[in-house]
Amino acid sequence: MRFEGKRAVVTGGASGIGRATALRLAEEGAHVLVGDVDEAGGEALTAQSDGRIAFRRCDVTDAAELEALVAAADGIDLLFNNAGAGGAREPIGEVSPEEWDRTMALLLRSVALGTRYAAPIMAARGGGAIVNTASVAALASGFAPTAYSTAKAGVLHLTKLSAADLARHGVRVNAVLPGFITTNIFTRHLGLPEEKRDVANRMIAGVAAQAQPIRRAGTPEDIAAAVCFLLSDDASFVTGTSLLVDGGMTVGARHSWDPEQPGLFAHLEAML
């Protein structure tokens, strides 16, 4: 019960990583307010939470709605800035200004404003903890579209700057970097209809299990465990950093962990 008596806000909490985190926070004693545009998902979540999770519709790209969500928590100790989607898919030479701005508003601006609205309340309560959802896409090309990856890289730097700004108030700020996690973000990004998403998610899970050294697909619960560690007093000496939860996807080139993939030197030896 690490969060007994704590009040938490989770954005994008009606499904996926946000949902898993909200449930874990509630299981460990927190009173959780979830904000999301998915009203059906939010209401279903509250129905199974034994009164510890409340839901409020919130579009995090609307500053007024986001501010109202934080205020509705009636005090906030923990914040998980998690809301997101795939965003603009076009390469930099084709993306429209409008799609670029929408992606940044959802993935980066909302994190800044969520932190901005929560920080004074946390400071008045003697401190708090914030976790932001970044991504392995923040670290290199090839993991996600350009706009999404750029926004997530911004989240990483914003996390460090926010940690520096808020340390004087006893507020810790960290980020989590998910790898290949099986959530509906992929199927929605591909524009698949609802009836095809379960099949697609099973296919994605099969591919994910072969994409990193840990040979299974990542789950929302894997990320929830990391987020709850960073939000808890177990991480009381941790701020301004990020926790990579990617099954080892970014440890190195595939040949470094897959014995079936010969490396550069093996190729050279074969040629010589």
Average pLDDT on 238-266 reads 87
| Mean pLDDT to the nearest integer, 214-235 | 95
Point out the residues that are catalytic: 148
In sequence order, which residues have a C-beta less than 8 Å from that of residue 11 and are 6 or more positions away? 18, 34, 35, 36, 58, 60, 66, 69, 80, 81, 82, 83, 110, 114
Neighbours of 71 (CB within 10 A): 13
For 135-175, give the DSSP string.
-GGGTSTTSS-HHHHHHHHHHHHHHHHHHHHHGGGTEEEEE
Q: What is the pLDDT of residues 167-219, one digit of tens each?
A: 999 999 999 999 988 876 655 655 656 666 667 667 776 777 788 899 888 99
Owning domain of residue 104: 7-271
Alpha-carbon distance 78 to 129, whole Å?
5
Q: Could you give the number of structural domains in the chain?
A: 1
| Distance between CA atoms of residues 106 and 119, nearest Å | 19
- Per the structure block, which two tokens stand in for 199? 């099949």
Mean pLDDT of the chain: 91
- Lowest-confidence pick of 170-174, 226-230, 258-262: 258-262
Residues 232-242, mean pLDDT to the nearest whole number: 98
Measuring CA to CA, which residue among 100, 53, 108, 54 is closest to residue 83? 108
Residue 258 lies in a domain: yes
Domain contains 1: no
Residue 155: inside a domain: yes
The CATH number of residue 145's host domain is: 3.40.50.720
pTM over 0.85: yes
Closest CA to 76 of 13, 141, 6, 135: 6
Residue with tokens 């994008």: 12
Give the count of beta carbons closer than 10 Å to the beta carbon of residue 213: 14
Q: What distance in Å separates the CA atoms of residue 128 and residue 109, rounded to the nearest whole number?
A: 21
Length of the chain equals 272
Domain membership of residue 2 (yes or no) is no
The model's pLDDT over 16-47, given as tens digits with 9 standing for 90+, comes to: 999 999 999 999 999 999 999 999 999 999 99
- Per DSSP, the three-state class of 131 is strand
d(CA 2, CA 98): 42
The 3-state secondary structure of 22-66, one letter per residue: HHHHHHCCCEEEEEECCHHHHHHHHHCCCCCEEEEECCCCCHHHH
Mean pLDDT of 118-124: 98
Contact indicator for 17, 133 with CB cutoff of 8 Å: yes
Query: Which amino acid is present at 160?
Result: K
Mean pLDDT for the stretch of residues 127-146 = 95
Q: Is residue 167 part of a domain?
A: yes
